[in-house]
Structure 1
């Protein structure tokens, strides 16, 4: 069974994303584009994941809960969970540990918490794109502690990636899968990894087309996590 996917989509909670990146808009655009599976992966928080999961379920779209955390080295790591509540609890832990740098909406953008009707039910004050006080080893250990699964994000981008910021994959860390950006050079041997290619969408039009698929035996979150991370 092939599941066409986009596992890296930012909602209006991320200050760098458009305000119209609401649960319903994201899910409806994914459906229009013929996707079967999506993740809402906001920076260092997952307060919109539960609403997005409910909207996706109502639309018959598979939803993999997650977020994108920023290590102290400013490396971005995608983190996936089996349940939306677990993602939200992990995101709340990360938010509490962010430095007390206040968001400036006029400069960075809004950080909207939305419900399943796309209504703004709150905002977050701390700037979500700040780095956490955990290095990559500590970050991956924390992910495991909370039952999550880590996938290094956009490893061949020139910033905020393992290869750009560290220059290598720490040998003590195990990753089964990495996210790569098609068309960008990869200055490292990554033949030992599986690869996913997602959009890192910050607006609706950037959400992936029906181009890339995961092959699984059963279409459920557990099987998807096994495919990516176990």
Structure 2
């Protein structure tokens, strides 16, 4: 069975996360999105585990169900060097045991706990309790593993069970790094709110025998991920090297020469694009046989927002989104499978934008420095002048 899964989100207990991130909100929104399996996030927070138990029915083998949505226990921790790691945990009981074993000052106050653990200790903890583990948003410049470590072996001493790409990278970028050829990639939302333009904005389509932790574990270890769906990496807010204050894109070499300081007084942050170029082994990606296609998507509300020039949470956009899902089913099905002519019958303005995603007729304004990129319709990525200038400075010192 093919399962749409988003395995990295956060609860209401995580810093900067919405108070609406509770099971009773996440479950119905996941159904509208088209997700069948969602990671709970924050699995080492005892209060969040209490809410999960109170709000769901235990279906067995690590699965907790609510309103046609199934949850598996997951947790993100911040280890030494401010590197983030993701655990997929067999069940709540094991999550509680692991939480009790952690030496963390903030585990009772923040859903993402901080621990003084190196990657090897993270590995050992996961193996001791039968968890799956890997680096969270591995390439992001603030908390990704590769921000300061050149090899995944230097972090864990072995290949982890998976690597999460993060919003500013995709398979084409990651498969220029030779050491990753045997690792399955995950694409997850890292959502801090339950609404469909956040939840499931990146997700995985996985072939599973049934809905269970054991089946998920087998699928990941056997690399049965059939498709990764995610944002156009160029749109990621840390994709290009840029100033975190004025957000202008800066040539990385010039940035280094100027000690990562922008003339405006802001701090320049190295982009994922350039960081991967520093550690890559190939100029063009070499995809292993097991690597599934990576399909670029954008949340439906964001597409509607773009074409109607209204905010994603405005009444205009939300009402258009509601009409589309009421008439055509869940969001993922609309974005991927529903014939364009059927979408046009419901919303003739949004339909061409969805078609542009499918045909890759998009013009990208690159993101960086903490600012998301933008999409303009009507020009192919390959022909876009901005796309061609991907590694060229857009600002002179």
Normalised by the size of structure 1, how large is the TM-score? 0.78
Shift of 1:136: 0.8
Q: Secondary structure at the match of 1:57?
A: strand
- Per mean C-alpha deviation after superposition, the further-off stretch among 2-11 and 201-210 is 201-210
1:227 aligns with 2:216: no
Equivalent position of 1:159 in the other structure: 142
Shift of 1:70: 1.4
Q: Secondary structure at the match of 1:68?
A: strand
Equivalent position of 2:4 in the other structure: 4
Match for 1:177 among 162, 166, 180? 162
Q: Equivalents in 1 of 2:113, 2:92: separation in Å? A: 23
Contact residue 71 and residue 133 of structure 1 kept, 8 A: yes
Q: Secondary structure at the match of 2:85?
A: strand
Q: Secondary structure at the match of 2:141?
A: coil
Shift of 1:128: 5.4
5+ long unaligned stretches in structure 2: 57-63, 223-397
Contact residue 41 and residue 74 of structure 2 kept, 8 A: yes
Deviation sequence 1:45-85 (CA, Å, 0-9, x none): 35414533652513232221111111112211111112122
The 3 A distance-change label for structure 1 pair 12 and 81 is same
Q: Equivalents in 2 of 1:196, 1:225: separation in Å? A: 13
Q: Equivalents in 2 of 1:92, 1:154: separation in Å? A: 26
Shift of 1:43: 7.6
The 3 A distance-change label for structure 1 pair 156 and 46 is farther
Match for 1:75 among 83, 98, 123? 83
- The residue correspondences of 1:208-227 to structure 2 (distance < 5 A) are 208-209=200-201, 212-227=204-219
Q: Equivalents in 2 of 1:165, 1:93: separation in Å? A: 27
Match for 1:194 among 151, 173, 184? 184
Shift of 1:215: 1.1
Q: Equivalents in 2 of 1:86, 1:52: separation in Å? A: 14
Q: Which structure has the bigger radius of gyration?
A: 2
Q: Equivalents in 1 of 2:150, 2:46: separation in Å? A: 29
The count of aligned residue pairs is 205
Contact residue 85 and residue 133 of structure 2 kept, 8 A: yes
The 3 A distance-change label for structure 1 pair 43 and 222 is closer
Deviation sequence 1:18-39 (CA, Å, 0-9, x none): 1111111111211111110001
Contact residue 46 and residue 66 of structure 1 kept, 8 A: no
The 3 A distance-change label for structure 1 pair 146 and 43 is closer
Contact residue 24 and residue 52 of structure 1 kept, 8 A: no
Contact residue 159 and residue 183 of structure 2 kept, 8 A: no
- The residue correspondences of 1:87-102 to structure 2 (distance < 5 A) are 87-94=95-102, 97-99=103-105
Q: Equivalents in 1 of 2:46, 2:144: separation in Å? A: 21
1:14 aligns with 2:26: no
Shift of 1:223: 0.6
Return the structure number with greater helix share. Answer: 2
The 3 A distance-change label for structure 1 pair 167 and 50 is farther
Q: Secondary structure at the match of 2:80?
A: coil
Q: Equivalents in 2 of 1:226, 1:47: separation in Å? A: 30
Q: Bigger relative contact order, structure 1 or 2, given CA contacts below 8 A and separation 6+? A: 1
The 3 A distance-change label for structure 1 pair 91 and 228 is farther
Contact residue 49 and residue 66 of structure 1 kept, 8 A: no
